[in-house]
Amino acid sequence: MEKTLLIIKPCAVQRGLIGQIITRLENRGLKLVAMKMAQLDKEILAAHYSHLVNKPFYPIIEASMMASPVILTAWEGLQAVSVVREMAGTTDGKKAAPGTLRGDFCMSHQENIVHTSDSLETAEQELARFFKPEDFFDYPSPLLNYLYASDEL
Ligand code: ADP
């Protein structure tokens, strides 16, 4: 099973959307395997957004991501990386499809509710950046045979 990272950004923490975001992933059948609240700092953000650190709008990203604590979550499931990314929707909330987290909860390119890993390789790097091995829980999933067909497992 794949694991992926979803960060509930400060804008969503401030707006009281933590529960609704987590509920959507739970309802989909994804399994929460790690979660913590954290105040991100400049160093970890520069590593996380290394592909954007030289962009003129990077100071806005940095300020936005440090405005309050975030909720770091790790989710497990079949093809979890692409499933969670599609649930987030496209980056700009104004263009995100209805039914996605961004399409339902935001109107902004920056204040766009969540971060999600964009590939399996990135997910592994990002999970290792934000979590220690002991932060992950491997606990029984008695409903697994109702979430997936036997030939999918
Ligand atoms: P995504 O979060 O959809 O994976 P990117 O990796 O391209 O998108 O960008 C990371 C984050 O940087 C976005 O979620 C958004 O918060 C911010 N960002 C990206 N492009 C812009 C932009 N042109 N203006 C303002 N913020 C941006």
Q: Cα of 36 to ligand 1 centre, how many Å?
A: 23
Write down the residue that tokens 């979430």 correspond to. Answer: 147
> Could you say which residues of the chain have pLDDT below 50?
none
Q: Which of 11, 48, 57, 61 to mutate to test the pocket of ligand 1 (most atoms within 8 A of CB)?
A: 61
Q: Is 57 in the pocket of ligand 1 (CB under 6 A)?
A: yes
Question: What amino acid is encoded at 80 in this protein?
Answer: A
Q: How much is the pLDDT for 19?
A: 98
Question: What amino acid is encoded at 70 in this protein?
Answer: V
pLDDT tens column, 4-28: 999 999 999 999 999 999 999 999 9
Q: What is the pTM of this model?
A: 0.97
Q: Cα of 116 to ligand 1 centre, how many Å?
A: 11
Q: How much is the pLDDT for 24?
A: 98
51 is catalytic: no
Q: How much is the pLDDT for 71?
A: 99
Q: Is 118 in the pocket of ligand 1 (CB under 6 A)?
A: yes
Q: At what angle do helices 18-28 and 80-88 cross, to 10 degrees?
A: 140
Q: Is 91 in the pocket of ligand 1 (CB under 6 A)?
A: yes
